Amino acid sequence: MSSASSSRSVMTDIGARQRVLKGLRFGDQVFAAVCKAAAVSVLVILGGVFVSLIGGAWPAFHKFGLAFFVTEAWNPVTDQFGAIAPIFGTLVTSAIAMLIAVPVGVGIAVFLTELCPLVLRRPLGVAIELLAGIPSIIYGIWGLFFFAPFLQQYVQPVLIGTFANVPVLSTLFAGPPYGIGILTSALVLAIMVLPFVTAISRDVFESVPPVLKEAAYGLGCTRWEVVRNVVIPFTRVGVIGGCMLGLGRALGETMAVTFVIGNAHRISGSLLAPGTTISATIANEFTEAVGDMHTSSLLAIGLILFLISFIVLAFARLMLMQLDKKAGA
Q: How many whole angstroms separate alpha carbon 89 and alpha carbon 265?
A: 9
Contacts of 190 (CB under 8 A, 6+ apart): 96, 97, 98, 100, 101, 104
Nearest C-alpha neighbor of 156 from the set 132, 183, 131 = 183
Q: Per-residue confidence of the chain (329 residues) as pLDDT tens digits?
A: 455 555 556 556 666 667 666 766 777 888 888 999 999 999 999 889 999 999 999 999 999 888 899 888 888 888 889 899 999 999 999 999 999 999 999 999 999 888 888 888 888 888 888 888 888 889 999 999 999 999 999 999 999 988 888 888 888 898 888 888 999 999 999 999 999 899 888 888 988 888 888 888 888 888 888 888 888 888 888 888 888 888 888 888 888 899 999 888 888 888 999 999 999 999 888 888 788 899 999 999 999 999 988 888 888 778 777 766 665 55
pLDDT digits (tens, 9 = 90+) for 38-51: 999 999 998 899 99
User: What's the one-letter identity of residue 223?
Assistant: R
Contacts of 90 (CB under 8 A, 6+ apart): 251, 277, 278, 279, 305, 308
Give residue 1's pLDDT: 47
How far CA 83 is from CA of 5, 59, 294, 313, in Å, comes to: 85, 14, 12, 22
Q: How many whole angstroms separate alpha carbon 220 and alpha carbon 31?
A: 51
Give residue 304's pLDDT: 93
Q: How many whole angstroms separate alpha carbon 38 and alpha carbon 48?
A: 15
Give residue 45's pLDDT: 92
pTM over 0.75: yes
User: What's the one-letter identity of residue 208?
Assistant: V
